[in-house]
Structure 1
Amino acid sequence: MKHIIVPIDFSKESLNGLRLAILFANRFDSVVQMVHVQKFPTSLTPGQFEEEEKIIEGKLQKLVEEYSTKMENSANLTYIVKKGKIYQEVVNQAHAFEESAIICSTHGASGFEEFFIGSNAFRIISATQCPVITIRHGSMPRDIKKIILPIDVSADTRQKVPITTEIAKAFDAEVHVIAVATTHSEEVDLKLNAFTKQVCTYLKEHDVRFQKASLRGDNITDITIEYSLDVNADLVSIMTEQNFAISDFVLGSHAQKMLSRSPIPVLSVTPKEVFIMGSFKTFGSDY
Structure 2
Amino acid sequence: MKHIIVPIDFSKESLNGLRLAIIFANRFDSMVQMVHVQKYPTDLTPGQFEEENKKIEKKLEALVEEYSTKMSNSANLSYIIKKGKIYREVVNQAHAFEDSAIICSTHGASGFEEFFIGSNAFRIISATQCPVITIRHGAMPRDIQKIILPIDVTADTRQKVPITTEIAKVFDAEVHVIAVATMQTDEIDLKLNAYTKQVCSYLKEHEVRFQKASLRGDNITDITIEYALDVNADLISIMTEQNIALSDFVLGSQAQQMLSRSPIPVLSVTPKEIFIMGSFKTYGSGY
Give the TM-score of the pair, scaled to structure 1: 0.98
- Give how far 1:41 is off: 6.0
- Give how far 1:4 is off: 0.1
Counterpart position of 1:279 = 279
Aligned residue runs from structure 1 range 217-228, under 5 A = 217-228=217-228
Number of equivalenced pairs: 287
* Contact kept? 1:221, 1:258, Cα under 8 Å: yes
> Which consecutive residues of structure 1, in runs of 5 or more, have no partner in the other structure?
none
- Give how far 1:284 is off: 3.1
Aligned residue runs from structure 1 range 80-119, under 5 A = 80-119=80-119
* Contact kept? 2:2, 2:30, Cα under 8 Å: yes
**Measured at CA, do residues 277 and 248 of structure 1 come closer, stay the same or move farther in structure 2, by a change above 3 Å?**
farther
* Contact kept? 2:39, 2:83, Cα under 8 Å: yes
* Contact kept? 1:280, 1:286, Cα under 8 Å: no
CA distance in structure 2 between the partners assigned to 1:249 and 1:63 by the alignment? 32
Opposite residue 109 of structure 1, the aligned amino acid is: A
- Give how far 1:286 is off: 4.4
- Give how far 1:42 is off: 3.7
CA distance in structure 1 between the partners assigned to 2:119 and 2:245 by the alignment? 14
Counterpart position of 2:238 = 238
Secondary structure of 1:120 counterpart? helix
Counterpart position of 1:190 = 190
Aligned residue runs from structure 1 range 1-287, under 5 A = 1-40=1-40, 42-287=42-287
CA distance in structure 2 between the partners assigned to 1:141 and 1:184 by the alignment? 34
- Give how far 1:223 is off: 0.1
Secondary structure of 1:103 counterpart? strand
Secondary structure of 2:149 counterpart? strand
> Which consecutive residues of structure 2, in runs of 5 or more, have no partner in the other structure?
none
Opposite residue 211 of structure 2, the aligned amino acid is: Q
Secondary structure of 1:285 counterpart? coil
**Deviations, residues 31-74 of structure 1 (Å, cap 9, x unaligned):** 00000000136432111111111000000000000000000000
Secondary structure of 1:79 counterpart? strand
Secondary structure of 2:169 counterpart? helix
CA distance in structure 2 between the partners assigned to 1:214 and 1:44 by the alignment? 58
**What RMSD, in angstroms, separates the aligned Cα atoms of the two structures?**
1.0
CA distance in structure 2 between the partners assigned to 1:221 and 1:247 by the alignment? 26
Opposite residue 238 of structure 1, the aligned amino acid is: I
**Measured at CA, do residues 274 and 248 of structure 1 come closer, stay the same or move farther in structure 2, by a change above 3 Å?**
farther
- Give how far 1:281 is off: 1.8
* Contact kept? 1:156, 1:271, Cα under 8 Å: yes
**Deviations, residues 146-167 of structure 1 (Å, cap 9, x unaligned):** 0000000000000000000000
CA distance in structure 2 between the partners assigned to 1:150 and 1:78 by the alignment? 35
- Give how far 1:231 is off: 0.1
Secondary structure of 1:51 counterpart? helix
CA distance in structure 1 between the partners assigned to 2:120 and 2:275 by the alignment? 28
Opposite residue 141 of structure 1, the aligned amino acid is: P
Secondary structure of 1:160 counterpart? helix
CA distance in structure 2 between the partners assigned to 1:119 and 1:234 by the alignment? 25
Identity %: 88
Q: After alignment, is 112-121 or 28-37 more displaced?
A: 112-121
Opposite residue 251 of structure 2, the aligned amino acid is: L
**Deviations, residues 132-151 of structure 1 (Å, cap 9, x unaligned):** 00000000000000000000
